[in-house]
């Protein structure tokens, strides 16, 4: 539930203030049902709220907190504003503009969601042509081995084509989810450092 006190910038996990003034805005993108809400809940700290009723509580669509990555704290705002059912192109466009970085999710059990991730990557490139916006392609639900429709090598190959990082995760098992959040912060730092240089 990230409308609770969790949504206020806290120093609980880091003990120090954030490294920069404004938080990094990380946007969750992906087809319906791939696990965006589950990712958001883990980020917000509602780790055991995997069932969908509980996830309804994450309705505020954003959560801001300070996390520690490689011994350095980083303020991150996670946005789960992507509405796959929406025909509101303006809202979707805004979503494509608001992020400093994107976690592009698909489900390894749903090939259509994998194809959708490719489309979204192309749309992102259209909106952010000149910038090296950090993106991680995330193959979620890797715990569902028997229902796998997209192989690891397909995911990796797709990420290579799209020039982004790749990780497989399981929000249900809490596997690699924080690695994805940490990975995106590392990429944002690299970009910041190269800008400063
Ligand atoms: P969203 O539409 O992208 O926000 O997807 P949700 O986070 O609501 O997840 C859709 C369904 O998939 C829910 O029933 C989740 O509990 C389930 N789910 C999400 N991530 C995983 C995962 O890693 N493994 C499994 N087995 N189920 C998951």
Among 186, 187, 175, residue whose Cα is nearest residue 42: 175
pLDDT at site 82: 74
Percent pLDDT > 90 in the chain is: 59
Output the pTM of the full model: 0.83
Whether pLDDT at 118 is above 90 = yes
Strand spans (E) along 45-152 = 62-69, 72-79, 101-107, 135-140
The interface predicted TM-score (ipTM) is: 0.99
User: What gap in Å lies between CA 6 and CA 154, rounded to an integer?
Assistant: 37
User: What gap in Å lies between CA 128 and CA 122, rounded to an integer?
Assistant: 10
Q: Is 52 in the pocket of ligand 1 (CB under 6 A)?
A: yes
Residue to mutate (ligand 1; options 32, 33, 49, 120; most atoms within 8 A of CB): 33
Q: What is the pLDDT of residues 59-112, one digit of tens each?
A: 467 899 999 999 999 999 999 877 666 666 777 777 788 899 999 999 999 999
Q: Is 54 in the pocket of ligand 1 (CB under 6 A)?
A: no
């Amino acid at each position: 539930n990230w409308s609770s006190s969790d949504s206020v910038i806290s120093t609980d996990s880091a003990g120090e203030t954030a490294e920069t003034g404004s938080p990094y805005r990380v946007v969750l993108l992906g087809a319906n049902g791939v696990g965006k809400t589950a990712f958001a809940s883990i980020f917000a700290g509602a780790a055991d709220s995997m069932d969908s009723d509980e996830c309804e509580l994450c309705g505020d669509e954003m959560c801001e907190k300070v996390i520690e990555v490689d011994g350095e704290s980083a303020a991150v705002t996670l946005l789960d504003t992507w509405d796959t059912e929406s025909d509101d192109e303006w809202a979707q466009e805004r979503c494509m503009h608001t992020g400093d970085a994107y976690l592009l999710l698909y489900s390894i059990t749903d090939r259509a969601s994998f194809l959708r991730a490719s489309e979204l990557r192309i749309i992102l490139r259209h909106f952010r042509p000149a910038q090296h916006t950090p993106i991680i392609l995330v193959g979620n639900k890797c715990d569902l081995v028997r229902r796998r429709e997209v192989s690891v090598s397909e995911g990796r190959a797709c990420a290579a084509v799209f020039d982004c990082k790749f990780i497989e995760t399981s929000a249900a098992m809490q596997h690699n989810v924080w690695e994805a959040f940490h990975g995106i912060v590392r990429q944002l730092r690299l970009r910041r450092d190269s800008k400063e240089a």
